[in-house]
């Protein structure tokens, strides 16, 4: 399970989205804001990547073998705690392994993690500056949501343009 503990506000703004959509007035700001907020959330879900710094708590039982972080990019591990004993696991007891396609929490062999205990890992994930291609994709998706808001149905909601799909595929966590 993943819990968002805190999340920075996104850095995307309506002025840029209005320019992207060629909307000059502010009359449509509420609809544009909804479209932008939805696009950010959908891109984060599709890519398993946070577009802004986010502190998360992940929960697992037993020794991580290894624990795979659900969202990234993981920038740091704040703490690992044994929730069964209400104790903190020493930082020498684990490491953040970014050498695989998916960031992992690996235990260091010298430590004892009990397989029957519940653990919580608190970590920070997300970009401090969103990459430009991902930013373009978010504005394009927001524009699509805004321009087609009456025609959006659940069956069509996930049909995106090939250009956006190729960008999202490059940023999907674990894809590289």
Q: Which residue has the tokens 């996930």?
A: 158
Sign of CA dihedral 88, 93, 98, 104: negative
pLDDT at 72 > cutoff 60: yes
Token pair in block for residue 27: 């009359």
pTM here is 0.81
Rounded distance between C-alpha atoms, residue 85 and residue 82, angstroms: 6
pLDDT of residue 139: 94
More confident residue, 166 or 82: 82
pLDDT in tens, 90-132: 888 888 988 877 788 888 865 677 888 899 999 999 999 999 9
| Pair of tokens at residue 139 | 């504005």
- pLDDT of res. 40: 94
Q: What is the pLDDT of residue 176?
A: 42
Q: 124-162, pLDDT tens digit by residue?
A: 999 999 999 999 999 999 998 898 876 555 555 455 666
Q: In the chain, pLDDT over 90 holds for what percent of residues?
A: 51
The Cα–Cα gap between 93 and 100 comes to: 19
Averaged pLDDT score across all residues of the chain: 85
Strands 54-61 and 94-97: unpaired
């Amino acid at each position: 399970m993943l819990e968002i503990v805190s999340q920075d506000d996104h850095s995307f703004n309506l002025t840029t989205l209005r320019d992207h959509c060629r909307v000059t007035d502010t009359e449509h700001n509420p609809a544009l804001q909804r479209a932008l907020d939805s696009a950010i959330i959908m891109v984060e879900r599709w890519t398993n990547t946070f577009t802004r710094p986010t502190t998360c708590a992940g929960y697992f039982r037993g020794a991580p073998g290894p624990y795979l972080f659900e969202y990234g990019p993981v920038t740091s591990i704040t703490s690992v705690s044994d929730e069964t004993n209400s104790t903190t696991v020493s930082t020498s007891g684990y490491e953040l392994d970014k050498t695989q396609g998916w960031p992992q929490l690996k235990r260091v062999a010298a430590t004892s993690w009990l397989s029957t205990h519940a653990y919580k890992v608190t970590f920070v994930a997300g970009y401090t500056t969103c990459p430009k291609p991902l930013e373009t994709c978010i504005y394009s998706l927001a524009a699509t949501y805004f321009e087609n808001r009456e025609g959006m149905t659940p069956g069509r909601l996930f049909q995106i343009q090939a250009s956006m799909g190729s960008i999202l595929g490059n940023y999907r966590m674990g894809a590289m």
